[in-house]
Amino acid sequence: MLEVANLSVNYGSIEAVRDISFQVPEGKIVTLIGANGAGKTTTLSSISGLLRPGRGKIIFQGQDITRWPTDQIVRAGLAQVAEGRAILSPLTVAENLELGAFVRRDRAAIRQDIDRIYGQFPRLAERRSQLAGSLSGGEQQMLAIGRALMAQPKMLLLDEPSMGLAPIIINQVFEIIRQINEQGTTVLLVEQNANKALKIADYAYVMESGRVTFQGTAEEVRSSTHVVEAFLGKG
Ligand SMILES: Nc1ncnc2c1ncn2[C@@H]1O[C@H](COP(=O)(O)OP(=O)(O)OP(=O)(O)O)[C@@H](O)[C@H]1O
Ligand SMILES: [Mg+2]
């Protein structure tokens, strides 16, 4: 469904991403794992059109989207949940969800989708009139995911959804990601929390210093001595 081929991205003279290639098949969960500064966010932002890659191609459902503007990429079915959640704090939960549907004009279906999201995230339903900035970290992450779903994406790009959350909340967020995937949305999950990501992913790519240094099924990555030593530790 998504193919990234020979992607390179520079910030001035810094080579943040160096000639990486990977694929995300339809219906799967693929994870990009790696330490701070490995180039994970740079890669996601290039896919979603927030950054212009220096070299390489990004193909989504057979179309070359490499130079498309972000709103056109969202309309094509790719929605990103940004690192640090990026919800709009001075707006309510309900207003944040409505904004997620900015590419749509089907008012009745938008209302139905908001209700569906409240069904999936009961904590958001209870807090629909609360300002987003006053939600807990876990609730903000759920709102960010809910808002991305309002664009009716075929593929969801998630940038470190576990960041800053307590272990029990991380488990809830990952369970929701698994459910969203089961309901038919393809997922590209960027994580530093490799142990958690590998539990729900079908396939994984390991990034180090801007390069893909290892790839395999979640099982293969978990049993790679190099990956275990570099990222997974004893956990
Ligand atoms: N706007 C920028 N200007 C200059 N350098 C940048 C910029 N954004 C990122 N970088 C550099 O690019 C490299 C990759 O950063 P990136 O944010 O993609 O890493 P990451 O894998 O997402 O890390 P983290 O897990 O900490 O979020 C880093 O060395 C970083 O300092
Ligand atoms: Mg990042």
Of ligand 1's listed atoms, the one at least distance from the Cα of 42 is: 18
What's this model's pTM, rounded to 2 decimal places? Answer: 0.93
Tell me: the pLDDT tens digits for 59-71?
A: 999 999 999 999 9
- The answer, yes or no, to whether residue 76 has pLDDT greater than 50, is yes
- The answer, yes or no, to whether residue 223 has pLDDT greater than 70, is yes
Tell me: the pLDDT tens digits for 13-28?
A: 999 999 999 999 999 9
Residue to mutate, 7, 10, 11, ligand 1, most ligand atoms under 8 Å from C-beta: 11
Q: Are 190 and 32 in contact (CB under 8 A)?
A: yes
Confidence of residue 235 (pLDDT cuts 50, 70, 90): very low
Query: For ligand 1, atom 26, which residue shows the shortest CA distance?
Result: 36
Helix (H) or strand (E) holding 159: strand 155-159
- The answer, yes or no, to whether residue 11 has pLDDT greater than 90, is yes
Q: How high does pLDDT run on average in the chain? A: 92
Which residue stretches of 48-193 are H helix? 70-76, 93-100, 107-120, 122-126, 137-149, 167-182
Cα 40 to middle of ligand 1, angstroms: 8
- The answer, yes or no, to whether residue 139 has pLDDT greater than 50, is yes
Tell me: the pLDDT tens digits for 111-138?
A: 999 999 999 999 999 999 999 999 999 8
Indicate the pairing of strand 63-64 with strand 55-60. Answer: antiparallel
- The answer, yes or no, to whether residue 31 has pLDDT greater than 70, is yes
Confidence of residue 234 (pLDDT cuts 50, 70, 90): very low
| Phi, psi angles (nearest 5°) of residue 231 | -130, -35
Query: For ligand 1, atom 2, which residue shows the shortest CA distance?
Result: 11
Give pLDDT, residue 103.
Answer: 83
Query: For ligand 1, atom 31, which residue shows the shortest CA distance?
Result: 37
Mean pLDDT within 85-112 = 90
- Who surrounds ion ligand 2 at CB < 5 A? 40-41, 83
Cα 16 to middle of ligand 1, angstroms: 7
Confidence of residue 45 (pLDDT cuts 50, 70, 90): very high
Of ligand 1's listed atoms, the one at least distance from the Cα of 41 is: 22
- The answer, yes or no, to whether residue 168 has pLDDT greater than 60, is yes
